[in-house]
Structure 1
Amino acid sequence: MTASRHPLRVLFSLVRDERGRVIRATASSVVNKLFDVMPEILIGIALDVVVRGKDSFVAKLGITDPVQQLTLLGIATFLIWFGESLFEYFYQVLWRGLAQDVQHRLRILCYDHAQHLPTSFYEENRSGDLVAVLNDDINQLERFLDRGANELIQTFSAVVLVGAVFFIVSPLIAVIAFTPVPAIIAGAFWFQRRAQARYDAVRARAGGLGARLTTNLQGLQTIRAFGAEARETEALTRESLGYVEANRAAIRVSSAFIPIIRMAILSGFLATFLIGGWLTLTGQMQVGAYGLLVFLTQRLLWPMTGLAEIADLYERAMASTRRILRLLDEPRAEPHGTHDAPVSGRFDLDDVGFRYATSPGGVNGICLSIGAGETVALVGPTGSGKSTLIKLLGLFIRPQKGCILLDGVPLADWSGERLRRAMAWVPQEVTLFTGSISDNIAYGRPGARFSEIEAAARMAEADGFIRALPDGYDSQIGEYGQKLSGGQRQRIALARALLIDPAILILDEATSAVDNETEAAIQRSLAKMKGRRTVILVAHRLSTVVHADAIHVMEDGRIVQSGSHDALVARPGLYRNLWNIQTGHAEIEAEM
């Protein structure tokens, strides 16, 4: 599935295994339109009965009494209206159900694809744009399938059915009445070409508006803290007005379509009205036939005004589909290998380098060995490459040069499933999910026993505050864990990581924003697991790493110092300078 494919083909591919339902829906639309056209035919027949009586068309069927003829027409009218209503119900249920299923499939397809995109995609794109694709764009596609597909089929059916009647009754009037149809179709294509760029702009504006809303709602406390409500409202107003203006530009094109089509319809209607009237007055056409053609001209041409709305829905849907395809065209993260064996946690890095395409950050020339069961710390100033290095170790990004071995095997050759079971990650910004504390701790092992959840919480020193809550482990944490403090969220995140019993535990600034009590609790937890698993710490707060087996100091993407805390403090350099600053010493080393 690539963006070079026409968006309409994507829709067809999504309903390929629903051919039976598509056929039933299409048949229901056609039959409904057949019944919808029949009342005009009955009106023409009724006029024929009233004017000609026993010589009418119905009389030729063997019913000569005009009252009986009208009674028969009344029964036929009832059956036709009943049939029209019945098949309208059928096509509504079938098309709408199909639209919902396509919407569901496409949303899941996009979400599953998004889960496997590389980290760089999320660093370079706004989450609000992705939410807009998964929500608004897919909903736009659903709206087209819900209404537009049926309208297209019924418009085509009306042209065929009414056209057949016209050519049977009067080929001359049929040719004249159909004269506006090419102009209407040409107008629809003209509109489609003019509208495409405008609707692409509408969808882009919708993504920007969604991104702004997502960011502001997530940062509401910060907005309030800085008294920036008015400023943010003004910024959102600009985004919203941009979206409104983009829609207005599209509306100006779509609104011009119906008046143009009305004039084309008028020419066809007047031709039928005048020429048919002349043929009737001269005795070349029956009154009933004339009434039939006048009514059917409206039935033939008027629905074509709906082409404007259909084209509008279509262009909005195609603009959304193009955005969806651009997401699906994003290459997934490279697949992992197949090596599957118990992990001990030994890393060897040889001349590893990585640079970001859109920023100067990265690492270069990293040579490093981490023994299984060691606790290793990465420290250094902001932008020194610490986060990039642990992303490389966690295989969230791949080195552009050099090699990373895990237990002597290239990291990329390991089975992804094995790696995720063997590694656990505790980030600086903890993500908790709506639900209970127990659910969040068991996120990596949904089937874990309660006793195992408790054990993990005790190891993370979270059991005490959890039990103090009114509902204990069943306490609901609220969206993003907002009912808990930052330190409590960190300890739950640590418990969640420990529950899967990983061979490798990575803590990315896990203590940077917590209180002293939480930091001490995390340090005690790390002390308990020392030697039992490989622990890689990234920290600004050096008090967290003093007991690490080895500390590697990074600067400008390189490791500039390595050693224990005592050894590094004992000699001049960046580490001792950072330590002196954090411990309040006035003396700052000049040597780096």
Structure 2
Amino acid sequence: MARGRNIRDDVESLTMVIRRIIRENGRDYVKTYIFAAFCLVLVAASTAFMAWIMEAVINEAFAKKNADVIWLICGSVLAAFVIRGAASYGQAVALAQVGNNLVARYQQRLIDHLMRLGVGYFGETRSAQIAAQISQNVAGIRDVMNLTITSFARDLLTLIALIVVMITKDPLLSLIVFVGAPPILIALRYISKRLRSATRESIDINSRVLSAMQETVQGITIVKAFTMESQISERTSHLIGSAEERSNRIARLTERTSPLTETVAGLAISGVIAYAAYRSIYDDVLPGAFFSFITALLLAYDPVRRLARLQINLERAVVNARMIYEILDEEPTQGDRSSAVEIEIPHGEIEFRDVGFAYGNGEKVLDGVSFTAEAGKTTAIVGPSGAGKSTLISLVPRFYDPSSGQVLIDGVDIADVTKGSLRHQIAYVSQQAWLFEGTIRDNLRYARPDATDAEIEDAAKLAHAHDFILGQPQGYDTPLGENGANLSGGQRQRISIARALVRNAPILLLDEATSALDNESEAAVQKALESAMQHRTVLVIAHRLSTIAKADKIVVMQAGHVVESGSHAELSDTTDGLYARLQAFSETDVVDAGKAKKAKKKGNKS
């Protein structure tokens, strides 16, 4: 009973995915599929005609030597081949166009859906694995549609037409042939069940292989710096070996039908030949009907073989399609409320009111955080690692929503506004300056697509980026390498700041924008930041306290709590406070950096 239920569940799962694909796409391509189906019907009819006319060819041309019908037979055979060729071309082009459009459509659906998912989803899922999974599986939708159409409109109709020819020519021979069908069907059901799990495992492992390769390329400097080449090679070799083993298993399962079908076909054809030869030798029966039957039988072999493998091929395609739907069915965790309105920010005051937050079911990262960042002023957030600084700043653009409490802008709870309108009022500069494919100008214009070239260049000047941009081979139209690899760290960060200025938003968030830079680059970026911070409400996380000494307000955090707040001067006077201790460590780092710089200069002179 359990085995029977599993088979039914597998068939229902397969059927549900196919129905979903057809329901989502069938109507849009109905005319093209009707045309393709008509072409496939012509292919089936012309194939059956070739078998049917063989009786006339043998009997009239060779046995009876009737010269009057030779030209008619030859003309009809030529016409059948011309029709078959034109119809095959028509259906192949039509299905290819639909298939390519399906792939493009689902690629667009996937990128649109991924853009709707929250930051939390990408924190839990490796980006390289998402890319690998999409690249491997998106063609599964196309394969399901095309396999379904071609199998039913071409292979099934061709087989039916040929069976009709076979039965009309010799019912007894047809019965002999059909005896071999049940063993093939039983074997295929067993193989398809095992193939499903093997295909899923293969796709998962291949995704991990591509993910490992992509991450290695992206982090090649770290790989070289830590001499990780042999470790990476060994780890990837294990994954590649596992992928190869799964692929070989799939090949063995997929091709396991060949010996069976070939053996059964050989038995059927040899039996037919023996029976027909006996009748021709001893009963003096004209061989035309036999040749027509054997032609139909041989022509039926290919559609039978394809139909025999249909479930296996569909299983593989459906596994691919199902993995795409796993991404598409992922529900966005931060949908706008039905009553959400677009926000307008006349001033830009940000208030954290008793805010608490935890990632998933983990421990609280923020607990009862309350303070106000005044409009048009700079508020710095400092504290040791793990204090919750970056988490706090990520709540403002609603990358995450608080577990408790409220974040308000100009007195409006941001949970009651649309994320799109909120984020349009915020400019963001992260610790790592992410740049995208395209030119420097393209990357700056991402912040505001309607920005003019003059506005882009003005922002670059304020960010102290204009001069080095003009020094690039094609100026603002210089194509960038992967994540701006053809620029220095300081240059990338200044372009990131210029992008924030192009946004021209009333609120600016700076998440340790200079912590990864050397002193010289930091000085240039700091000048850019001072320009960017004017006349805006700024929340800044600082790694080096010297960079936020001019902040209007400093909020000191520890273990998810606000422990101190005030100006630089006020907090510095509290000698036993956390800020004073952090400042002492920061000054030590500055002194050490200065000594190292002097030693380097001295070494260069000598």
State if a TM-score over 0.5 links the two structures: yes
Task: Name the residue aligned to 1:451.
Answer: 454
- For 1:578, the aligned partner's letter is L
Measured against aligned partners, the alpha-carbon deviations of 1:250-269 in whole angstroms (never above 9, x if no partner) come to 22211211111222323432
1:79 aligns with 2:74: no
Three-state SS of the structure 1 residue aligned to 2:351 is strand
C-alpha deviation, 1:536, in angstroms: 0.7
Task: Name the residue aligned to 1:62.
Answer: none
Task: Name the residue aligned to 1:30.
Answer: 41
* Paired residues of 1:372 and 1:534 also in contact (CA < 8 A): yes
Gaps of 5+ in 2: 1-12, 592-606
Q: 1:14 aligns with which of 12, 25, 42?
A: 25
C-alpha deviation, 1:280, in angstroms: 4.2
- For 1:17, the aligned partner's letter is D
Task: Name the residue aligned to 2:579.
Answer: 575
1:380 aligns with 2:378: no
* Paired residues of 1:35 and 1:81 also in contact (CA < 8 A): yes
C-alpha deviation, 1:433, in angstroms: 1.8
1:360 to 1:252, Cα distance in 2 relative to 1, 3 A: farther
Q: Which moved more, 1:170-179 or 1:126-135?
A: 170-179
1:499 to 1:493, Cα distance in 2 relative to 1, 3 A: same
C-alpha deviation, 1:282, in angstroms: 5.5
Measured against aligned partners, the alpha-carbon deviations of 1:84-142 in whole angstroms (never above 9, x if no partner) come to 11111011101111111111111111111111111111111111221123211113444
C-alpha deviation, 1:492, in angstroms: 0.5
Distance in structure 1 (CA, Å) of the matches to 2:420 and 2:518: 35
Task: Name the residue aligned to 2:597.
Answer: none
* Paired residues of 1:380 and 1:553 also in contact (CA < 8 A): yes
1:523 aligns with 2:526: yes
* Paired residues of 1:580 and 1:586 also in contact (CA < 8 A): no
* Paired residues of 1:152 and 1:310 also in contact (CA < 8 A): no
1:41 aligns with 2:45: no
- For 1:453, the aligned partner's letter is I
C-alpha deviation, 1:286, in angstroms: 3.6
Task: Name the residue aligned to 1:222.
Answer: 222
C-alpha deviation, 1:459, in angstroms: 1.5
C-alpha deviation, 1:167, in angstroms: 2.4
Q: 2:417 aligns with which of 406, 409, 414?
A: 414
Task: Name the residue aligned to 1:555.
Answer: 558
- For 1:114, the aligned partner's letter is L
Measured against aligned partners, the alpha-carbon deviations of 1:226-263 in whole angstroms (never above 9, x if no partner) come to 22222212221111111111112222211211111222
- For 1:318, the aligned partner's letter is V
Distance in structure 2 (CA, Å) of the matches to 1:338 and 1:5: 42
Q: Which moved more, 1:541-550 or 1:509-518?
A: 509-518
1:282 to 1:586, Cα distance in 2 relative to 1, 3 A: closer
1:322 to 1:147, Cα distance in 2 relative to 1, 3 A: closer
Task: Name the residue aligned to 1:480.
Answer: 483
Distance in structure 2 (CA, Å) of the matches to 1:528 and 1:481: 23
* Paired residues of 2:18 and 2:144 also in contact (CA < 8 A): no
1:320 aligns with 2:320: yes
1:505-516 counterparts in 2 under 5 A? 505-516=508-519
* Paired residues of 1:355 and 1:361 also in contact (CA < 8 A): yes
* Paired residues of 2:355 and 2:368 also in contact (CA < 8 A): yes
Q: Which moved more, 1:149-158 or 1:364-373?
A: 149-158
* Paired residues of 2:345 and 2:409 also in contact (CA < 8 A): no
C-alpha deviation, 1:145, in angstroms: 4.9
Measured against aligned partners, the alpha-carbon deviations of 1:340-385 in whole angstroms (never above 9, x if no partner) come to 3244211222221111137657212111212211211111222221
Three-state SS of the structure 1 residue aligned to 2:64 is helix
C-alpha deviation, 1:163, in angstroms: 1.3
Three-state SS of the structure 2 residue aligned to 1:506 is strand
Task: Name the residue aligned to 1:60.
Answer: none
Task: Name the residue aligned to 2:7.
Answer: none
* Paired residues of 1:148 and 1:313 also in contact (CA < 8 A): no
C-alpha deviation, 1:473, in angstroms: 2.1
Instruction: Please give the TM-score of this superposition, normalised by the length of structure 1.
Output: 0.91
Task: Name the residue aligned to 1:269.
Answer: 269
Q: Which moved more, 1:234-243 or 1:294-303?
A: 294-303
Task: Name the residue aligned to 1:544.
Answer: 547
Distance in structure 1 (CA, Å) of the matches to 2:245 and 2:73: 53
Distance in structure 2 (CA, Å) of the matches to 1:554 and 1:95: 61
Gaps of 5+ in 1: 55-65, 588-592
Three-state SS of the structure 2 residue aligned to 1:393 is coil
Distance in structure 2 (CA, Å) of the matches to 1:342 and 1:19: 49
C-alpha deviation, 1:438, in angstroms: 1.9
Aligned-CA RMSD value: 2.4
Three-state SS of the structure 1 residue aligned to 2:241 is helix
Instruction: Please give the TM-score of this superposition, normalised by the length of structure 2.
Output: 0.89
* Paired residues of 1:95 and 1:145 also in contact (CA < 8 A): no
- For 1:566, the aligned partner's letter is A
* Paired residues of 2:205 and 2:239 also in contact (CA < 8 A): yes
Three-state SS of the structure 2 residue aligned to 1:103 is helix
1:204-283 counterparts in 2 under 5 A? 204-281=204-281, 283=283
Identity in percent:
29
1:192 aligns with 2:192: yes
1:304 aligns with 2:308: no
Measured against aligned partners, the alpha-carbon deviations of 1:38-64 in whole angstroms (never above 9, x if no partner) come to 33333332111145427xxxxxxxxxx
Task: Name the residue aligned to 2:10.
Answer: none
Distance in structure 2 (CA, Å) of the matches to 1:389 and 1:238: 41
Task: Name the residue aligned to 2:288.
Answer: 288
